[in-house]
Chains A and B, each alone.
Chain A
Amino acid sequence: MTLSFTVNGAAFQLDDSRSDERLIDFLHEDLNLTGTKFCCGIGVCRACTVQVSKPPNPTPSPVISCSTTLGTLDGSDISTIESVANDGVPDAVQKAFLDNFSFQCGYCTPGFVMAARMFLDGLRAQPIPQDQIDSAMMEAIGSHICRCTGYVRYFEALKPLAIAANAGDWK
């Protein structure tokens, strides 16, 4: 038996004896993709958030890679922070976080970027009333822990993008 999944578009097949291994360890050790950050290791801080799509559900969802085993990812498409920029050019979320000085030490940033992107994708697919955007942002990134910034600048950076995505103007 094998486990099959993709990471940033590259296909991998592993022996299912590795089912109990954590996704973050596979990313770090096997692929040397260390942009996904290890912080609490128990799925609380969400610094290790990656994007996972698994048929038949086409909608990507945020997954905490420190607490997700490879065995649950068979058939999934996994995207990490390393896949976000286009030929070295930051995407809109990354640029907004840069322009707003949203982060300081930056260790939580990849998790915020991944969650924010999925949030914006979701808004574009299913717009919500404008007055619910703040609470939707809180729902999307409010559980992520940042110890440096006090969150204000993450929210400031994301809001214009959320308004645009809600109006169908994202990507």
Chain B
Amino acid sequence: MTSQSPVGGARFTRRKFLKATGGAVACTVMSIPGLGRAARPGAADIGTNASSVPGVASQRIDGMAKVMGEKVYARDFNARDMPGWPQQQWHAMYLRALTTEQAFEGLDLGTLAPQARPTRVVLGNELSGTLRAPKLLFNRDLMLQERIAQERARAPRAKSEGSVGSFDLPSDMTFDLIVLPGNVPNYLGQAVALLLFDNLAGFRAAKLAIEFNDAAYQVYGSGKEDGPPLGSAFSPQTTYVKYGDDFSYAKADPDTYMDQVPAYQDKIRTTLASDPALIRQPFQTDMQAMDPMFMEPEAGLVWIETDTGTMNIVLGTQSPDGDISNILSMYDSADAPIHLKAVNLTSCYPGGGFGGRDGSPFSLMLALAGTYSNGSPVRLAYDRFEQFRVGLKRHGAKLSGELAADSNMKLQAVQMTLTFDGGGERNLSPYVASLGALCAGGSYAIPMADIYAEALHTENVTGGSQRGFGGPQAFFAFETALDDLAAARGWDPAELRAANLLEEGGTTVVGGPVEQSLRLGEMLKFAQRQPLWNDRDAIRQDYAARGLIYGTGIAISLQAYGTSGDGMVASVLLERDGSLTVQSDAVDMGNGSATTLGVTIGPILGANAARVDMGCYTLFDQTGLTTQDPDGVRWANPNWTAKSVGSSSACLTGLHQVHTVQQTANALFQGSILAAAAQIWGVASLPPSDVVWRDGTLGRRSVGGGELSLQTLADEIYASGLPNGALGHAYFQNSWAAADFPTPGGLLPLQLDGLSFYQPSGGNPVQVPRQGTVGPDKASSRYARYVWAPCINVVGLTVNTSTGAVQIENVLSVLNAGHIHVPQLVSGQSQGGVAMAISYTLLEDMPTGMAGPADGMWNLNRYHVARAQDVPVLDGYEPGQRGQQLFTLEPSQGSAPVGRGIAEAVMCSIPPAISNALRDATGKRFTSLPITPAKILEGLGQ
């Protein structure tokens, strides 16, 4: 029996045309083949349909497929599973650079057994220029893009002054995908050769011979350095200097901001020096890199049909849009071996992400392998050793600086230098550093700030996007320093925080206004009243009576969600059978986005979605919108938007993606469904306030009877040619772009900047001309971020001073998550964040260089991540028992029912809370992550 699955990539063929040198390339997102093929009674009893209550999820919509072991991950697929693909499949293996001190000269595979010999070996000198070093785009953050453009414009002048300060290789920086023989590798783990095998047995034999012994097959000698030296800073660096209301990044003229910075840095120094009564608290912290350790090592398939120029690719990625654009850039030159005309992406559910699949180099390496397989499909599937060796990492970092406060506990200044180990490739490192700089102000109102953040090019494994995006490092530095300040003065650490909390109406260290209710004061008071904090002295005595050393720590984070400008696209379709489908550019890495988007239309359309298609970034091409603005007229152009879509982050679901889906659902409801209802009921018009959904049928408030099911409404819509679906695009930058749209149901004011309607007759959706557009002003793009998910964590722990072992006993998290769409998903994200933070703080120990995973011999036997026994698994608080509690704020009365991005929020303040608890327990400050037993014993002088 075949049943339709409620989840997938795209069921419909939706194409996006990207411009390339050789003409437009059609990009299509395909559905996961065979999903839902397992025999079961049908889609109606699974996923969100299991809940009869619109707006309520009783299961994850992707849950059934996952719990049954169906093929949903890229790793599950071989060419034989892909409809229309050749069965003969090749296998790819990359050999990785072992040094950055000698030149790679070539391979010596002479000792490989005959059955292990590759079918084809590809070295760097066989690649065309763009294939070897494609122009990569990481358009993560509009503000950063603007800054890059400014710095490029300034570069000639800076160069003439003798100091560029950073580097930015032509078009956004990349090193060779495969090292040119004769060149010194740019970083450890950079590919030096591609080995291809036309059969699995040969691949396995080669893997057995080469893995852990790859030095035996690589030849190194003298050669030339290619590229900037190790230790150079990736461009751009971030400087945030704030001097009261006089000067800040947000307020200053962008063209002269950096020129004014030195004078204001002097003013800050002078101001601080003029008041000897100020308390100065220096700090210095460092942390190692961290592997996201998502459970599914990266894997994928590629098949290039050379006769048609079509690339078929199977991927599990957080950034389908960026990945495909970057892949296309590999082939965008006259000397490219293949000129692509089409890309078909099968977007699979990632087996975990946490940012590690956002802009991952894996997609490029997979696509590259497809070029050399003589037209056969190729599988590239990292094992865990390879994943550790080359997968994107959370940056190792060093942070230092000083806090200054007056005797009334009022913070006056923060100075912080954040240096991130960017590793080999640029990737998203400058963006991470930049957000880290914003987080360097903590959750507090601070009049003066002098913050500098940079990411350095080093030989280490490339750093990239990771849960928290610079926040965990910055909050650790700030919140531990704050506790040290409190301890030095004998102040209560909670009271010190309470005296300085940032609230609505304040400004960040960037100088941008906080125009959102944070409620940090209310949250802190609540946390202080909880037994874990309020009874901490008694709890300590209780543990002491049992011979255990116990401590309590508190820390606060104010993690932003979204970027400095976010575009999202979604469609909502009323199917012929009356069921509902949601499509979104978002990707569900496990965070539950698909489930949330599926139920969020329930209250609007009377039922939850029966199907949710994710990763549908190509929908943007059907909106009729453009991001090109040659005349600089911005919103005056009715087809302009500031950003199409971005990569997928869990933090974008609660507000951004939900908003887009809801507004689009509203457009369908008011623009078509109400018109259909009016036709059936024979009334001229039907305001939304006159109708109500009851048990999945639409009724009139003032007139009994005549309730209409979605099936009946679909019958009318399809018969009368009313729109059967809506396609919406939204843009957020401190506020939503909004416009009026003429529809069959009247002129609709929507917080969308693009709306199209699907017609029952099929074909592409028809754009609805927008009117009276009001878009965010340009100035707000300098605020860096606009919306926040505050979180307060209290940690209670015990320390074994003989072994250095730490056990987390209790965690209390107080979170402002805004409106909660699916409570189980929010608490699950929080619990996951707690576990990952404990792991990051205490367990995950990753040395740099060849002492670390770059040597290809790291796995979970050496890199320890938290297991259940490392985490308090009881949900709640009971004295004497290990447990964790999450309290979420009830939304303020009258506030809009919008959520906040919470995936990272809980994680960010756990590490400093642990360090603060350790200080409370032992009297020693531990500033270096991970805080291993060896460090604790050393700190205790044992």
Residues from chain A with Cβ under 8 Å of B68 in the complex = 35, 81-82, 84-85, 90, 94
Q: Is the CB of B59 within 8 A of A143?
A: no
Does B525 belong to the interface (CB within 8 Å)? no
Does B589 belong to the interface (CB within 8 Å)? yes
Q: Is the CB of B860 within 8 A of A138?
A: no
Q: Is the CB of B296 within 8 A of A101?
A: no
Interface size (A, Cβ < 8 Å)? 56
Q: Is the CB of A152 within 8 A of B294?
A: no
Contact with A along B549-592 (1 / 0, CB 8 A): 00000000000000000000000000000000000000001111
Q: Decide yes or no: A101 and B59 within 8 Å by CB, A40-B860, A42-B861 being known contacts.
A: yes
Q: Decide yes or no: A32 and B589 within 8 Å by CB, A81-B68, A149-B828 being known contacts.
A: no
Report how far A105 CA is from B349 CA in the complex, Å: 8
Q: Decide yes or no: A45 and B295 within 8 Å by CB, A32-B80, A34-B75 being known contacts.
A: yes
Shortest CB distance A138–B (Å): 6
Contact with B along A126-168 (1 / 0, CB 8 A): 0000000000001001111111111111111000000000000
Residues from chain B with Cβ under 8 Å of A156 in the complex = 875
Contact for A153 among B590, B831, B860, CB less than 8 A: B831
Contact for B60 among A98, A142, A145, CB less than 8 A: A98
Q: Is the CB of B384 within 8 A of A150?
A: no
Does A80 belong to the interface (CB within 8 Å)? yes
Contact with B along A90-106 (1 / 0, CB 8 A): 10001001111101111
Q: Is the CB of A42 within 8 A of B384?
A: yes
Report how far A87 CA is from B41 CA in the complex, Å: 9
Does A65 belong to the interface (CB within 8 Å)? no
Q: Is the CB of A149 within 8 A of B295?
A: no
Q: Is the CB of A142 within 8 A of B867?
A: yes
Residues from chain B with Cβ under 8 Å of A147 in the complex = 292-295, 352, 354, 832, 836, 865
Residues from chain A with Cβ under 8 Å of B590 in the complex = 103-106, 148
Instruction: Report B49-66 residues with CB < 8 Å from chain A CB.
Output: 58-60, 62-64, 66
Instruction: Report B316-352 residues with CB < 8 Å from chain A CB.
Output: 349-352
Contact for A141 among B76, B865, B868, CB less than 8 A: B868
Report how far A154 CA is from B873 CA in the complex, Å: 9
Shortest CB distance B828–A (Å): 5
Report how far A28 CA is from B875 CA in the complex, Å: 37
Does B81 belong to the interface (CB within 8 Å)? yes
Contact for A150 among B40, B292, B824, B835, CB less than 8 A: B835
Q: Decide yes or no: A37 and B295 within 8 Å by CB, A80-B69, A152-B875 being known contacts.
A: yes
Does A47 belong to the interface (CB within 8 Å)? yes
Residues from chain B with Cβ under 8 Å of A42 in the complex = 384, 859-861
Interface size (B, Cβ < 8 Å)? 69
Does B383 belong to the interface (CB within 8 Å)? yes
Does B633 belong to the interface (CB within 8 Å)? no
Measured CB to CB, the nearest residue on chain B to A42 is B859
Q: Decide yes or no: A149 and B832 within 8 Å by CB, A37-B296, A107-B295, A113-B67 being known contacts.
A: yes
Q: Is the CB of A142 within 8 A of B861?
A: no
Q: Is the CB of A39 within 8 A of B828?
A: no
Contact for A40 among B60, B77, B859, CB less than 8 A: B859
Shortest CB distance B301–A (Å): 13
Instruction: Report A1-45 residues with CB < 8 Å from chain B CB.
Output: 29, 32-42, 44-45
Q: Decide yes or no: A47 and B384 within 8 Å by CB, A29-B200, A103-B67, A105-B589 being known contacts.
A: no
Shortest CB distance B868–A (Å): 4
Report how far A65 CA is from B875 CA in the complex, Å: 32
Report how far A28 CA is from B67 CA in the complex, Å: 17
Does B486 belong to the interface (CB within 8 Å)? no
Does B353 belong to the interface (CB within 8 Å)? yes
Q: Is the CB of A41 within 8 A of B39?
A: no
Report how far A70 CA is from B884 CA in the complex, Å: 43
Instruction: Report B818-850 residues with CB < 8 Å from chain A CB.
Output: 824-825, 827-836
Shortest CB distance B892–A (Å): 27
Among A98, A108, A143, A152, max chain B CB count under 10 A is at: A152
Does B407 belong to the interface (CB within 8 Å)? no
Contact for B73 among A32, A103, A107, A150, CB less than 8 A: A107
Q: Is the CB of B67 within 8 A of A90?
A: yes
Does B71 belong to the interface (CB within 8 Å)? yes
Shortest CB distance A18–B (Å): 11
Residues from chain A with Cβ under 8 Å of B868 in the complex = 138, 141-142, 144, 151, 154-155
Q: Is the CB of B69 within 8 A of A36?
A: yes
List 27 contacting pairs A-B, 8 Å CB cutoff, sorted by A: A33-B69, A34-B69, A36-B69, A37-B351, A38-B75, A42-B384, A42-B861, A44-B860, A81-B68, A82-B68, A84-B69, A89-B41, A101-B825, A104-B591, A104-B592, A105-B296, A105-B352, A105-B589, A107-B295, A107-B351, A141-B868, A147-B293, A147-B295, A150-B833, A151-B871, A152-B871, A153-B827
Inter-chain pairs besides A42-B859, A45-B860, A151-B873, 20 sampled, C-beta below 8 Å: A34-B75, A34-B77, A42-B384, A44-B860, A82-B69, A90-B64, A98-B67, A100-B824, A103-B63, A104-B590, A106-B66, A106-B67, A106-B72, A107-B294, A107-B296, A110-B67, A148-B828, A150-B831, A150-B836, A151-B867
4 shortest A-B CB distances, which residue pairs? A35-B69, A88-B40, A105-B590, A106-B66
